[in-house]
Structure 1
Amino acid sequence: MTPEPAAARTDAWVWAVRLFPSRSAASAACKGGHVHVNGKRAKPAQALRIGDRVEATTPGGVRIVVVKRLLSKRVGAVVAVECYEDHSPPPPPKEERLAMPRRERGTGRPTKRERRQLDHFRNQG
């Protein structure tokens, strides 16, 4: 068995423990300010150490984890869960999630007036 490294790249670690679906998505999230290490924005190549607190805004919601083990390569889901302590808040109940309004089936294309109303509605939120 190979010894654990002293530090790991932030983008590689969040990808390896399956917080992001791809390494490029993890790197883009770091560059975009969606990954914080110990309360500060993380660059993709920032060194991550055991005990660091990682807050990541993922497609599934906000994830808050504490590093227990360093990885540089992607591992299976069972092993990945053992590499961090999850402190993420529970997801909101289904009733609280916003649903995208849909047009009734068979009503055809929206008129110009209806499109403007939809655009106004979407831009308010």
Structure 2
Amino acid sequence: MIGAMDHFVRPSGSPPVNGYSHAVAFTGAMVAVSGQVPVDADGNLVGKEDAEAQVRQVYANLTTALEAAGSGLEHVVKLTVYLTDLDDLGAFRKVRDEYQDAENPPACSLVRVAGLVHPDFRVEVDALAVAPSAG
């Protein structure tokens, strides 16, 4: 059984949003997922010059990590997105919208960074999610 989540997409008096909630309240155990990068299961970079391909691989890795912990993308309460180029934001949003529920999106922070651990990485995403409850 997964804990409860309440999404506050745009509370009265808050600015407009684009694919995220201003706040998410939840109960239950939490899963913390380390930053996921555009590397496949064999350790190979995916999409060297292709932001969309990199974001797809990051979401695949997020899915794998969450499922290993008995959770899933639908249970994510907070994402932190790191982009090296804000021109990649459109590609991120396109892929994000394919994977996440538009009615109940997680809270999200976006950070433009000068670089990531590998010079060809364009995106990294970490997540907090609700985990299955015992009993």
Instruction: Give the shorter-chain TM-score range.
Output: under 0.3
* Greater relative contact order (CA < 8 Å, ≥ 6 in sequence): 2
Could you say which structure has the higher strand fraction? Answer: 2
The normalised TM-score by structure 1 is 0.23
Larger gyration radius, structure 1 or structure 2: 1
